[in-house]
Structure 1
């Protein structure tokens, strides 16, 4: 049963990453959230099929997180990030290090994934400089990559719409690897495609073009999430790691989406058995309740920068944020990690992975589906676009999904799903069933 919402004045708010003109004609206003569900202003109960924006794997309004935030607020609402820190910030860094691959034993806190990406790029430049390799200033990203909206992030990122408007602002000296999606070779793959490891060899070509002594770092998402869940081919990440090691190039994994259980492991690095030199994280560390991000860094990179800092009273690395290691998100993150442990959420995600995979691939054969792909508790379907109207088909699917009580994420004509780890098998199956019916509806109209 739905109701007509009260009209609201939407004129002042400029929505991010949203077609604002379309939104004003088809508004989607959420009123509350609890568990794995949102409730909108029409009175509809909507299953959260993408865990917020990949950031709420524990669902919504877990009272344990709220209690931790309230307690911290009463104890100390803010502590300056420069020259001092709260005790809980140190212990949070230690907890994250224990979850990370061996050797990544330093944490630099930020407020978002975008800030964490730019931080990692600056650490890479700083490291090579103190090593006496000041010529290593180039960065290598990848086509279709999303690394946030900072200047560094859009420079190494590879989503055209993120780049073309701001081309004049982007960093110089950036090159890009090709993305790994080739539907003629890997459409409807379950998990990692078997074709495509050779695409990593493009890194050798780029190295030869620019000279390894000019390249600081390669940054990759283990799974390219925001562009539609592009899963790496078997052996691809291993080859990238080998080439980086061979040429003294740092490897950065952007795990803003894949970190903290989304791939049925603590990090994508664990899932794929590849250890980078830095890991960027955000989103799930606070369950999306309050902004926080960070960079896990190899210990010897930190030691080198410390060793190049001159006299000990001088700052070694001129970088940071007013809210780095802020005590309120630190408290939220501690509570989130407590819940991950007490509720065994990574294993719960692992148990749901085959259920999501089977449900998604059961849609194969539906009219208009060009591809289905999945890994961990994430997946996507790629749609045949409406000729001359990119993204319209996906928008129609989104609207039809809402009518069926589920929320999904659209990117051009790709639909992504990533349900909360607290979901039941029945909820995951219902999500995909509703998605399949919505695709049928969308294909009936132009």
Structure 2
């Protein structure tokens, strides 16, 4: 047992974990699509860590930019202007939909969502926020209340005026839909009914992950986001698109909303903006909402907002993604390699119920019975009930692949830079593991 591991177990308090029940892998290094442990065993990273190393591990241009910035100016307070912060903001708004021209920088995605909601409430003079049950928005007070998954439950009550509704999920439709199109229509009818019952004049914002990520990579029906935009316009509600996970190439576009040509009022981001090399997040703000604070102070701020090391990493990341065609590569590898490869696995493994995704943002909905769509494990399963998913984790790691699993799903979310050969290496490992798991399916 290494000193690193011993010190971790003695002193590090880990997220979302019962501390004595975990055995964290010690990561000693990484490059591109791979990480390796302290014994030198290499693993293909099909998680992008927490879905943030969009540009891959240790991209030399980003590493160099951080080193150069550290030698020149490590830190500066947010009240001062700074060249890399200004340039990062310019590069971000250039890629955002037209009419969003300001950036408020944060330390990550959760505080981006916190501040976006604060902006919406102050802009509208209203309090309520609507979000979906199948969602994750962060671990700060309002963000965890907006979250729909079970991590919210122990935190219920720490913030107020947040209300949940059902978003579209055609494979497990809460609306008894028989098609993607019908699911989109019925989901919008449900949302409008929720707005009416909550009181349109009380609602400040609707907050949606453009493509819900941790909740299942639920690509919305084609009409849905445009319909949400129309409802927000009709009732004077701010539309906040949470692009923390889906943005910066993950879905094969700079922002996932570009797939549907929809312009939110606010966009939150983090993760892929600089691949998590230095913590950064932010809110991209529409001109209308920015004008609210032209002569009225915005009552929010962070000590490290637009930190120079993080901003330098963002500038280098965005430029490298543009220069190297990484966003278009993510779209192509998803359409030509990952999607077809996963669908081919599904054709041979009855444990795979549905394949869905875009770019390098995919999920496998795992089932015991394809005809009934019974999940492979129960909702929020733990202990023996979760044994099949625990086996999936163990067997993939044995074969040199780090998987992303949540409830009854496996997410395939490698770096946007992954090669065709690396995808096929990962798919071959999954083929072996699903052969073992097929015994759980009828």
Matched, 1:424 2:411: no
| Alignment map for 1:9-408 (pairs within 5 Å) | 9=6, 10-18=9-17, 20-24=19-23, 27-81=24-78, 83-128=79-124, 134=125, 136-159=126-149, 161-169=150-158, 171-183=159-171, 193-198=180-185, 199-307=187-295, 309=296, 316-354=297-335, 355-365=337-347, 366-384=349-367, 385-386=376-377, 389-408=384-403
Q: Deviations over 1:248-275 (max 9, x none)?
A: 1010000001111111111011112111
Using structure 2 for the length normalisation, give the TM-score.
0.90
> Structure 1: how far apart are the matches of 2:360 and 2:37?
25
The CA deviation string for residues 378-410 of structure 1, in whole angstroms up to 9 with x for no partner, is 111122335774443222112111112111111
Spell out, residue by residue over 1:284-331, the C-alpha distance to the aligned partner (whole angstroms, 9 max, x if none): 111111100000010111112224x2xxxxxx1110100001111011
**Does structure 1 retain, via aligned residues, the 8 Å contact 2:105–2:283?**
yes
Given that 2:43 and 2:402 are in contact with CA atoms closer than 8 Å, whether structure 1 keeps it comes out as yes
Distance 1:402 1:319 in 2: 43
With over 3 angstroms needed to count, the CA separation of the structure-2 counterparts of 1:29 and 1:441, relative to structure 1, is farther
The one-character-per-residue Cα deviations of 1:115-134 (angstroms, maximum 9, x if unpaired) are: 10001000101112xxxxx3
Q: 8 Å contact 2:33–2:57 — kept in the other structure?
A: yes
Measured after TM superposition, the shift of residue 46 of structure 1 is 0.8
Matches of 1:391 and 1:266, distance apart in 2:
36
Gaps of 5+ in 2: 368-375
1:175 is paired with a residue whose SS is: strand
Match of 1:312 in 2: none
Name the Cα RMSD after superposition: 2.1
For 1:43, what is the secondary structure of its paired residue? coil
Q: Secondary structure at the match of 1:321?
A: coil
Unpaired segments ≥5 residues, structure 1 = 129-133, 187-191, 310-315
Local SS of the residue matching 1:420: coil
Cross-structure match for 2:373: none
**What are the superposed Cα offsets for residues 40-75 of structure 1, whole Å, 9 maximum, x if unpaired?**
234321111122211111111122112111111111
1:165 match: secondary structure: helix
In 2, are the aligned partners of 1:58 and 1:421 still within 8 Å (CA)? Answer: yes
TM-score if structure 1 supplies the norm length? 0.89
Contact 1:126 1:305 in 2 (8 A): no
Whole-angstrom CA distance in 2 between matches of 1:358 and 1:251: 34
Contact 1:195 1:234 in 2 (8 A): no
Whether the 8 Å contact between 1:391 and 1:411 is mirrored in structure 2 is no
